[in-house]
A and B are shown apart, each in its own frame.
Chain A
Amino acid sequence: MKNWKKMMSAALTAAMTVTMLAGCGGGETEKGSSDTIKIGGIGPVTGDAAIYGEAVKNGAELAVKEINEAGGINGAQIEFNFQDDEADAEKAVNAYNTLKDWGMQALLGTVTSAPCVAVGEVAQADNMFLLTPSGTAVECVQYDNAFRVCFSDPMQGAESAKYIADNQLATKIAVIYNSSDVYSTGIYQAFAKEAETEGLEIVAAEAFTAESKTDFSVQLQKAKDAGAELVFLPFYYSEAALVLQQAAGINYSPIFFGCDGMDGILDVEGFDADLANNLMFLSPFTPTSTDEAIQKFVTDYKEAYGGTPNQFAADAYDGVYAMKAAMEKAEVTPDMSASDICDVVKGAMTEITISGVTAKELTWEASGEPSKAPMVVKIADGDYAVVE
């Protein structure tokens, strides 16, 4: 029995020490050094969605480096700290709190939608400025302190339907979507709603899930049997590459139309680029564009990290520059608290116009949505080309 008591007191002491140590960690960095502006980033750098988080991290770091070399924001250097959230809402809140302990003054994140909603709630309570590069769900920017760089899900879905109707690409449409993914179902729902008002007929809506994303023959066969002239693919390029291959396998060649997740399909290893000919998708960013700013971004990115940047990297890159512009406009100094910065920057966000890599003229509304025109990209001869 004595042993028990000792063991318990030891365990208690250990538990307390852990708590105390953890507690101590916070206090020191609350204020932070007052000569740098601290921007935090949150996204998945481990797990299934790691490639999006990595892209955002790299894109943001590139922008931070450039801004610092050019003299920073109002003369203050930026410090950037990126934390992993494993694309999980709970972990994202932990990451957010870690960054707060570090002394974060504004947040670039989070990368994926569901964590972004959770962090948005906490950030609103703290009055922390939040700019998500790629959180597409509507609720990501429901509060006035939150803004986003990318298009929202409904916007992409509606724009796609409008484009198809306006250009009379097809009247009978099949949709294949990932029913276990927020992004994919969000776009699909908005697309279906808009298609109805535009007079397009959805002849088949076939779902797949994250667990069954390798065989699309059933969905394609149904689309073919229903006589669909166009197949809408609102999901990421890695699965889309398989869809295109399998469609060719059953000699089915409708028009394929995708969203911004389709960007990057030509870089899929072992993918025959001929299959993607005439594939169309909405995208805010094309790495092969001849635009000078985009070319510079693509070259610098390749040099620093290897590989072509995707739209996530581009969104993050523009996000950092938007923060810089808004902070300069609002005359933010490094000694201001996060809450004070938020109060002035959220007003300044609606007044700035930046020329970024995802749009020539990028402005924001008070609702947090960016106003930029989506470009339709068509793949021809194994290369991306913007359709005017």
Chain B
Amino acid sequence: MSGMKKMKKTTKSNLITYGLVIGIYLVTQILIMTGSISSLLQGLLVPLCSYVILAVSLNLTVGILGELSLGHAGFMCVGAFTSAFFSKCMVDAIPVAGIRYFLALLIGAASAGIFGILIGIPVLRLKGDYLAIVTLAFGEIIKNVVNILFIGRDSNGFHFSTKDVMSLGMEPDGQVIINGPQGITGTPKDSTFTIGVILILITLVIVLNMIHSRSGRAIMAVRDNRIAAESIGINVTKYKLMAFSVSAALAGVAGVIYSHNLATLTAQPKNFGYNMSIMILVFVVLGGIGNIRGSIIAAIVLTLLPEMLRGLNDYRMLIYAVVLIAMMLFNWSPKAIEWREKHLSKRKFAKKKCAEEV
């Protein structure tokens, strides 16, 4: 313990975050091995990994960069579709699941990252809430574009259409890969909990190191006072773009996990629409803006909650909403913070989930 005390505050905080993820992973693995875990929870493990990565990556944009992004699900959608497309095409060419999945991850992250840069270049130069508006539109556009996209493959190569399957004009041996609103069916189920946890850890390494690096301090300086940051020679657009594109690429990774967990991938308002983006934002806000560990916990709790409430049947969504409001009040209302400090700190249990603690 004496060693712990000598450590820098941030290093320790980071280690706790890694420890939390590894701890949960070990506990879950033990539960799986002893067979005492419910099928519901076992089925939720992989989606949980993708939601945690989404929350952490959005926190980079919202908490560290200080810009509001309402299109995180759009980046996830890009990552999901490009990687699922790749895996579906390569399922025969690369029979080894590990290599295929690794390449799919790179492709998903790269394509989402490229979209992040493309959107960031014009928009991040502006002051104000433009990013929120543009990302909101981006998410909706991506969803609708995917819904009219038809791609097929036959002996002559790939065929594209934005109308219907007939206009692909394929040979009889052709196979439709992206089938408009039906999306991609039959993506190999390559995502596993272990890979998911490894990806969470990689995400954490990237995000936490970035925050505590020179670039991260520059990004936070831009967030806190743009004019002051510019005056000491920080290239504002460059650092904003850096944070935003990394955040987008990580959302793409989450999309890869998502798409390789389900046999069917469709772009519905439910999974890649506006609501999903808001859902991720809720994880970030409830966990504490700028608080990476908080995002992880909030993503886990809020994903599990509606499933654990299934016993309540029709009241499930009602209770879920009430819990959300209660959590928000408990975390953020000034009176609640005051009450918490007064009563809980006496027992040396000060729960101060604040931004400066990252």
Contacts and interface: CB of A to CB of B under 8 A. Distances in A.
Contacts of A101: 38-40
Interface of B: 5, 9, 12-13, 16, 20, 23-24, 27-28, 31, 35-44, 47, 144, 147-148, 163-166, 179-183, 185-186, 189, 258, 261-266, 268-271, 293, 297, 300-301, 304, 307-308, 310, 314, 316-317, 345, 348-352, 357
Contacts of A8: 16, 20
B271 A90 contact: yes
B310 A205 contact: no
Interface stretch (A79-87, A163-171, A304-312): A79-87
Interface stretch (A63-71, A184-192, A215-223, A262-270): A184-192
Contact of B348 (A6, A189, A193, A207): A6
A183 to B, nearest CB: 9
Given A7-B349, A88-B270, A209-B144, A182 B27 contact: no
Interface string A92-103: 011111101100
B41 A19 contact: yes
Given A90-B271, A94-B43, A115-B264, 18 more contacts: A3-B348, A3-B349, A6-B349, A10-B351, A16-B27, A20-B31, A22-B37, A22-B308, A27-B35, A83-B310, A90-B258, A94-B44, A95-B310, A97-B40, A180-B147, A181-B181, A182-B182, A210-B269
A8 B266 CA distance: 38
A88 B310 contact: no
Contacts of A86: 270
Contacts of B351: 7, 10
27 contacts: A1-B9, A3-B350, A6-B349, A8-B16, A11-B293, A15-B300, A18-B304, A20-B27, A23-B31, A26-B37, A26-B40, A27-B38, A84-B310, A88-B271, A89-B265, A90-B258, A94-B43, A94-B44, A97-B41, A98-B40, A100-B40, A101-B40, A114-B182, A122-B263, A180-B144, A185-B180, A205-B164
Contacts of A139: 185-186, 264
Main SS at interface, chain B:
helix
Interface string A3-44: 110111011100110111011111100000000000000000
A74 interface: no
Contacts of B42: 97
Contacts of B345: 3
B57 to A, nearest CB: 19
Interface in A228-264: none
Interface of A: 1-4, 6-8, 10-12, 15-16, 18-20, 22-27, 45-47, 83-84, 86-90, 93-98, 100-101, 113-115, 117-118, 120-122, 137, 139, 179-182, 185-186, 188-189, 192-193, 205, 207, 209-211
A22 B185 CA distance: 31
Contact of B37 (A23, A182, A192, A211): A23
B249 to A, nearest CB: 22
Contacts of A2: 348
A121 B188 CA distance: 10
B38 A180 contact: no
Say what secondary structure dominates the interface of chain A. helix
A336 to B, nearest CB: 19
B291 to A, nearest CB: 12
Contact of A23 (B38, B300, B307): B38
B189 to A, nearest CB: 7
A122 B44 CA distance: 13
A209 B350 contact: no
Given A23-B36, A117-B264, A46 B41 contact: no
B195 to A, nearest CB: 18
Nearest to A113: B182
Contact of B39 (A89, A100, A181, A209): A100
A191 to B, nearest CB: 10
